[in-house]
């Protein structure tokens, strides 16, 4: 008889995409999920931007030259990539697909365009969750309350938020983050259910055939 550990080891991992406008709670949720769930890790992107103080290579990003990034891109080495403020960012294909094959989940903190690219590259592996604020007024209050941004940047983030929220209907799940604990519990429920999808259990076909051969 298979134990729960056996089933987990035999399943295929998934790519969890978390997207939201700035201030809706995505970063808090993703960090907590990685800390508390040993089966999921954050995707480590390649980037051509300069390393910032406190960042470690291959821990926060893989820092590369633009030439190296372009070579990787030409070899179809990224599941998704984007150019932001004259720098490239991309999710490397090989380590991510290797993680999935070994039953480990990979989480992506990317926007709707990156999510769309992932869905095209590996549609059966991607689970997309969009985090909404309870209201635009509350979103603005959260941005102000963080005390990190100037009024001009907050205004820009709010403008961007309308465009991002308009894309929420392209996601598999949408959660309204009015209460962080409620949202976190619902996010965990989504992951539990998605991990148990039949097509993520490659062992199940053989197991069924063995059951059908049993003569009791």
The two tokens of residue 181 are 């604990």
Burial (CB count <10 Å: 0-12, 13-18, 19+), residue 3: exposed
Q: What is the torsional sign of CA 81, 39, 131, 22?
A: negative
Q: Which residue is associated with the tokens 């769309």?
A: 116
Cβ neighbours, 10 Å, residue 40: 19
CATH fold of 4-43+105-204 reads Rossmann fold (3.40.50)
Give residue 4's pLDDT.
54
Mean pLDDT by 10 residues, the chain (216 residues): 56 95 92 94 92 84 95 95 88 95 92 90 95 95 89 91 94 96 97 95 90 92
- Report the interhelical angle of 151-165 vs 136-146 (nearest 10°): 140
SS3 for 68-123 is HHHHHHHCCCEEEEEEECCEEEEEEHHHHHHHHHCCCEEEEECCHHHHHHHHHHCH
Give residue 1's pLDDT.
55
pTM: 0.86
- Report the interhelical angle of 26-36 vs 180-195 (nearest 10°): 60
Q: Report d(CA 63, CA 26) in Å as an integer.
A: 24
- Identify the CA nearest to 131 among candidates 81, 184, 196, 90: 184
Cβ neighbours, 10 Å, residue 84: 10
Radius of gyration in angstroms for the set of CA atoms belonging to the chain, rounded to a whole number: 19
Give residue 206's pLDDT.
87
Q: What is the dihedral of CA 86, 88, 35, 105, to 10 degrees?
A: 150
- Show Cβ contacts of residue 157 under 8 Å, excluding neighbours closer than 6 positions: 21, 22, 23, 143, 149
């Amino acid at each position: 008889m298979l134990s729960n550990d056996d089933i987990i080891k035999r399943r295929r991992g998934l790519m969890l995409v978390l997207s939201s406008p700035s201030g809706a709670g995505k970063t808090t949720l993703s960090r907590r999920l990685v800390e508390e769930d040993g089966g999921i890790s954050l995707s480590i992107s390649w980037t051509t931007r300069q390393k910032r103080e406190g960042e470690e290579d291959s821990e926060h990003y893989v820092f590369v030259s633009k030439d190296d990034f372009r070579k990787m891109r030409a070899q179809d080495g990224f599941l998704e990539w984007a150019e932001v403020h004259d720098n490239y960012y991309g999710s490397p294909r090989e380590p991510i697909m290797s993680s999935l094959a070994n039953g480990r989940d990979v989480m992506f903190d990317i926007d709707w365009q990156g999510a769309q690219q992932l869905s095209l590259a590996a549609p059966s592996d991607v689970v997309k969750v969009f985090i909404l604020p309870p209201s635009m007024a509350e979103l603005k209050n959260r941005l102000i309350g963080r005390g990190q941004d100037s009024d001009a940047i907050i205004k820009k983030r709010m403008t961007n938020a309308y465009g991002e929220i308009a894309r929420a209907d392209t996601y598999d799940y949408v959660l309204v983050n009015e209460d962080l604990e409620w949202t976190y519990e619902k996010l965990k429920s989504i992951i539990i259910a998605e991990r148990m999808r039949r097509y993520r259990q490659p062992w199940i076909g053989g197991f069924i055939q063995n059951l059908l051969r049993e003569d009791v």
